[in-house]
Amino acid sequence: MKSKDKEQLAIEYAKEYTKRMDENPDLHVGIFYDALNGFLTGVDAGIALAEEWISVEDELPECGESVLVKCEEFNCPIVGEYYEDGWMNVASDTVYPDEDEMTVTHWRYINRK
């Protein structure tokens, strides 16, 4: 099954939303486009949030959740997982309990398609 893009999902949502409306046809079109635009705005806001780098001083991911991390020791983001006893570099399957070995400064969710 081919995945749907956000515009296709928005149209389906708007059709389903307006199906429940029994207003006059002119108002129905306005409500459809309001629902469509509201859906797209929400999707875009969710994407923007998912692409933000979050400081570890402000928030930490759920334990064991794979996220992209920025570390002082690496020049590019790596996939890491946070645990109560430290950060794990997923590529090496190593947990670094000591900040001197892997100092994570920021993290963000991984975009999944």
Q: What is the pLDDT of residue 65?
A: 92
Instruction: Report the SS3 class of residue 40.
Output: helix
Domain boundaries, the chain: 6-50, 54-108
For the segment 67-78, the average pLDDT, to the nearest whole number, is 85
Q: What is the pLDDT of residue 1?
A: 36
Give the whole-angstrom CA distance, residue 35 versus residue 32. Answer: 5
Global pTM reads: 0.54
For the segment 69-78, the average pLDDT, to the nearest whole number, is 83
Q: What is the pLDDT of residue 55?
A: 92
pLDDT over 90 percentage in the chain: 17
Which range in 12-16, 57-61, 109-113 is most confidently predicted, on average pLDDT?
A: 57-61
Q: What is the pLDDT of residues 15-38, one digit of tens each?
A: 766 665 555 555 556 666 777 777
Measured CA to CA in angstroms, residue 63 lies from 9, 10, 72, 100 at distances of 31, 33, 21, 21
Give the whole-angstrom CA distance, residue 90 versus residue 73. Answer: 15
Task: Give the other-Cβ count within 10 Å of 19's Cβ.
Answer: 10
Q: What is the pLDDT of residue 6?
A: 73
Q: What is the pLDDT of residues 84-101, one digit of tens each?
A: 888 888 888 777 766 667
